[in-house]
Structure 1
Amino acid sequence: MRLDKILRNSGAVIVKGDSAVEIDAICNDSRKVVRGSVFVAVKGFATDGHEYISRAIGLGARAIVYEDEQAAKFQLASTDTEGITLIKTESSRHSLAVMASNFYGNPSEKLTLVGITGTNGKTTTVTLLYRMFMALGYNCGLLSTIANYVGTKGQEAVNTTSDPLTINSLLKEMVNAGCEYCFMEVSSIGVEQERVSGLRFKAGIFSNLTHDHLDYHKTFAEYLRCKKLFFDTLPADAYAITNIDDRNGMVMLQNTKAQTVTYSCRSIADHTCRVMEQSFDGMLLKFDGRECWSRLIGMHNAYNLLAIYTTAVTLGADPEEVLTAISTLMPAPGRLENLKGPKDTSIIIDYAHTPDALENVLKTLREIAPDREIICLFGCGGDRDKTKRPEMGLIAQKYADKIVVTSDNSRSENTADIMADIRSGMDTSGKARSLFIEDREQAIRTAVMIASEGATILLAGKGHETYQIIGKEKVHFDEKEIVKAL
């Protein structure tokens, strides 16, 4: 594709060279540069792409996009730039995203792209939207924390929101495969880093906003701003769908140009849901006055299902067909998965890794089986928001009869230090018996050993993940395998 077509609306300006040069690839990683590519120098957190401009040219890049003029000049001073097109931009991240969209033929404009943002519920909502629309007879794509799907073809995902090149490459695959819809998780970090710039969304969904990612955003106000920015940039022909039961639900709509749609489980809204009854087998719900049985459990899942229902109906699906499809949906992997354990225990595997998510799951388990003993096993991730650790310890103690604090993805932190942070929020004289065991597999075995007959054991934090990150090493760790071997 010609360079000038790739640069259209990207904010990047050619300062030297040929605008009509043919480009075969776009790269922002110098290790992936091939002959005939354009290299976009992006300032990252660990490395700065500007330091690899000379290397990219040596590997055959035909064009260079940069934002830091001084850093670029330093690299170019000792490099032969004959025949190289040099391009200046105010934001390499923004330009990369728009360039990626142009390079792949703006695929987001050729299907119905639906994005969801919020602290909790993103993976469940997009996964179930994907499954439901597939069940309704549509060919769909999915971009999520767990996996990316083009129709029925899936692959493991790396980030909640992938980089712009990966996103647009997958969207093009979806278009080529005849997909009519794509359902996508949109993280606050993805918005802030402009990974979704250049995409045209038909609908944006807001689930909720609670305590998370403050290791990155530093303040809750900045976290809120990044979530809201997604809705601020929706086009006028899109839909902004929001949960008004969340105190920030209406904030998301303040500056949007999109058509607004509201949903609620507690008050009057465009679409409503009420929980009539629930058990470990599922719950009876009433959507806009129509009853529907779901195999999912918990108030948080009632909100997820209402978001799904609202989105589908807003996009033109028949409400009765939507409810029929909802009744067949199974939970997303690692979301309140119920496995039978020894001593007639119910072992629940859930991804809950924020204070709000942990509280939602524990409250659900307590409501469904008020007379059963609850054991809560969890840890907290290293190199992540430290302020949530004591809060999660306090929440576990509030709802569980016994607590086992253990490791999660410790990364570069010492597991014992993370556990100490959790312990600082707990009242060690409280009613809940607390154990602290660093080895997570041993902690699981201990939780089962101390469980009473028929107890409910929650394994929180890992969910769908089949690994632990210890230091820089990714070690295989599958809780389902461990439970089945008990």
Structure 2
Amino acid sequence: MKLRDIIEDNAVTAVGDAEITSITDDTRRVAEGSLFVCIRGAKFDGHDAAKEMLEKGAAAVVCERDLGLGDRQILVRDTREMWGCICAAWFGHPERKMTLLGVTGTNGKTTTTSVIKHILMYAGFKTGLIGTIQNEIGDEVLHTENTTPLTYEFMEVLAKMAEAGCKYAVMEVSSFGLCQKRIGPSHFKTAVFTNLTQDHLDYHKDMEDYYQAKKMLFDICDAAIVNIDDEYGRRLFGEVACERKSFSVKGNADIYADGIKIKSTGSSFWYCCGDKSYLVKTRIPGLFNVSNLTAAIAVCLREGIPAETVISAVENYNGVKGRCEVIPTGRDFTVICDYAHTPDAVENILRSVKEYTEGRLICLFGCGGNRDAAKRPKMAKAAALYADRLVVTSDNPRNEDPEAIIRDILVGLEGTDVPYDVVTDRREAIYHALKIARKGDIIVLAGKGHEDYQILAGMEHIHFDEREVVADGLKLL
């Protein structure tokens, strides 16, 4: 591919006829004829390796400052932004070949995107999905490492979706993906804002920085569907310039859920918009899921899918792995696995489950290592609001001392009267929760959800699937 066709009208080069064999921002992947893009990261600046990359065989380098490399350097204002444009061009601009629908927020992204994709597929449209758990092309599942893939991988998977005939691509859009410009020149027809609560403050300096990162999505969309039950959602609704609709599970919004009924087997509610209302029945429980469903329905109705089709699709939706997922036990108590790993998410899942718990509500949780330590005591306080008993344990301790993490967590339980047990090893903690469970109790295993691994010291990943752990623990009873 010619260099001029890759950089298009985004930069000027004197060697536009050069044949480019590959594009990369990774020094390890540079080969003869590569176009190397210099990205300045937290620990390494690609500009420092530009000369070496030319010596290694790169045809040209893209940089933000004059490196004295003559015609073989292409100067641009922002190499991260340019890298997105280069990747899009390299793959033939797949972002232009499908309708993009995005969901951002701290909690609810996975369920909302999953429901949107399910409805679109049910309506007969082949749809791709990019998300936390996995990427999907129609019914094909692809492994993923990041909620929003890195730029090259993102455009590559979009290209595969377009080639497979997908009309839509639905994606979770993370704050990392927006800040690091991973989505390139993508533009979204509709974007959803679910909520914003404390998370990722190890990366974002404060909540304002986190909010501004999420807000970036609404500069590149045609229409916004915004949750005004959330404080930041109300603020966002007043600040976005695109077409906008508010949604709520409390009323007083453009779109709202009314007559909500929550059971352990699912929920029902009236979806209300203007002078129209539709009875919605779903197999997934929880008020927070009513909110997610309300947003997803709004997106699909905006796409012109008949209301009857949308409602029927929702009734046939079985939920997402690791999101309020019931793990079969064959016993007289219930075990639920949920990805809740922020204070707000823990509070939401426990509040919801508490409504149909006949016995005690037992919550097992921990906090990740090398992550925002300020949320650890807040996690404990959130869990103590609704749980009748807590089991405090580990959750991906990484390179931190698990017991030190737990000490941070326990600060949040000071002044509360909720009984708790500390079992540092998560497997043993789950066994313990199963042993103390009585008839009618519900155990919520919070934090892991769909994950089937633990990250231990040295960043070692070990296999750890809570469904398997529960099955093993039941054999010990």
**1:77-96 equivalences in 2 (<5 Å):** 85-96=72-83
Q: Decide which of 100, 103, 112 is 1:125's aligned counterpart.
A: 112
Correspondence for 1:232 among 219, 243, 256: 219
Q: Which residue of 2 aligns with 1:418?
A: 405
**Cα distance, 1:295 vs structure 2:** 0.6
Find the partner of 1:267 among 228, 233, 251.
251
State the match for 1:173 in structure 2. 160
Q: Is contact 1:124–1:332 with CA below 8 Å preserved after alignment?
A: yes
- Aligned residue in 2 for 1:245: 229
Counterpart CA distance in 2 for 1:197 and 1:66 is: 17
Q: What is the aligned counterpart of 1:347 among 310, 313, 335?
A: 335
Name the residue aligned to 1:49: 46
Cα 1:267/1:467, change in 2 over 3 Å: same
Alignment deviations for residues 317-362 of structure 1 (CA, whole Å, 9 cap, x no partner)? 1111100000011111100001233642111000000000000000
Question: Which sits farther off after the overlay, 388-397 or 242-251?
Answer: 242-251
Aligned to 2:445: 459
- AA in 1 matched with 2:450: H
Paired residue secondary structure (2:440)? coil
- SS at structure 1 position matched to 2:261: strand
Instruction: Tell me the residue number matched to 1:389.
Output: 376
Deviation of 1:424 (Å): 0.8
Q: Is the 8 A contact 2:128 2:138 kept in 1?
A: yes
1:408 corresponds in structure 2 to 395
**Given that residues 232 and 255 in structure 1 are in contact (C-alpha distance below 8 angstroms), is that contact kept between their aligned partners in structure 2?**
no
- Which AA in structure 2 matches 1:249? G
Q: 1:362–1:9: structure 2 CA closer, same or farther, 3 Å change rule? A: farther
2:2 aligns to what? 2
Sort the Cα spacing of 1:253 and 1:19 in 2 relative to 1 into closer, same or farther, 3 A. farther
Aligned residue type for 2:53: A
- Gapped runs of 5+ residues in structure 1? none
Do 1:275 and 1:302's aligned partners in 2 also have CA atoms closer than 8 Å? no
Distance 2:56 2:394 in 1: 43
Q: 1:275 to 1:468 in 2, by over 3 A?
A: farther
Q: Aligned-pair RMSD on alpha carbons? A: 1.8
**What CA distance in whole angstroms lies between the structure 2 residues aligned with 1:418 and 1:261?**
41
Residue 299 of structure 2 is aligned to residue 299 of structure 1:
no
SS in 2 for 1:97: helix
CA distance in 2 between partners of 1:327 and 1:458 (Å) = 25
Deviates more, 1:222-231 or 1:247-256: 247-256
State how far apart, in whole Å, the 2-side matches of 1:55 and 1:116 are. 40
Q: What CA deviation, in whole Å up to 9, does each residue of 1:288-310 have, x standing for no partner? A: 22212101111110010001100
Match of residue 310 from structure 1 = 298
- The unaligned stretches of length 5 or more in structure 2 are none
* Match runs of 1:311-330 below 5 Å: 311-330=299-318
Distance, in Å, in 2 between the alignment partners of 1:391 and 1:89 is 44
Quote the Cα distance in structure 2 between the aligned partners of 1:345 and 1:464. 21
Q: 1:52 and 1:475 mapped to 2: Cα distance?
A: 35
> What letter is aligned with 1:265?
V
Give 3-state SS (helix, strand or coil) of 1:213's partner: coil
Identify the range of structure 1 (120-129 vs 254-263) with the bigger mean alpha-carbon deviation.
Answer: 254-263
Q: Distance in 1 between matches of 2:238 and 2:353?
A: 36
Q: Does 1:144 align with 2:126?
A: no
Q: Distance in 2 between matches of 1:275 and 1:461?
A: 31
Cα distance in 1, alignment partners of residues 38 and 259 from structure 2: 51
Contact 1:9 1:98 in 2 (8 A): no
TM-score, length of structure 2 as denominator length = 0.94
TM-score between both structures, scaled by the size of structure 1: 0.92
Pairing of 1:181-260 with structure 2 (within 5 A): 181-234=168-221, 238-254=222-238, 256-260=240-244
Answer yes or no: is 1:26 the counterpart of 2:23.
yes
SS of match in other structure, 2:413: coil
User: What SS is found at the alignment partner of 2:290?
Assistant: helix
Q: Secondary structure, in 3 states, of the residue corresponding to 1:368?
A: coil
